[in-house]
Structure 1
């Protein structure tokens, strides 16, 4: 640490260590009683949301579509993971966060991947 950093008048307690965040996220998942595939999906979605800074409900449509494109191979290869993806998509739709057009587009992405494979 430089002398300037030491004498600065900023508090670093508000900063969150990434390692501590990962441990905290794992602990939360353990408390929810999810299956391993559900935990894997939640971890994938959470890291995607953090990486791409999905901050508001209006981002949800493009985010879910891009997430589907990015992880389509994993979703097609793992049936339980695909079910976790579907259930989450239905929940988002029921809450009004996903449009029917997005749901259809995401399903089409997986269908196209299956046909190419």
Structure 2
């Protein structure tokens, strides 16, 4: 879990309880997903939140997110750094890595993550 300064206020977030509801899982399972690197969370205004873009239209975790998180964690990046990278514009994609994941371009995102991590 990270501090409030990790992401801009314009990045939409969901409280962990809402993520649990959308995933049809208990809150404890969402915390486990964060520990396992399938999701990332941080604190905003004292509440633990998850970026809304981490869930797709079908209320599932966006394909490729967990693999990207794993590659970057293995490369020594902190969760704060990973969150910032996922939401930073990248002209070579184009757009942000998380937008590319949501658009189904997870292989391109993972390649960039691998290049950064090693």
Q: TM-score, normalised by structure 2?
A: 0.28
Q: Of Structure 1 and Structure 2, which has the larger fraction of its residues in strand?
A: 2
Higher helix share: 1
Q: Which has the larger radius of gyration?
A: 1
TM-score between both structures, scaled by the size of structure 1:
0.29
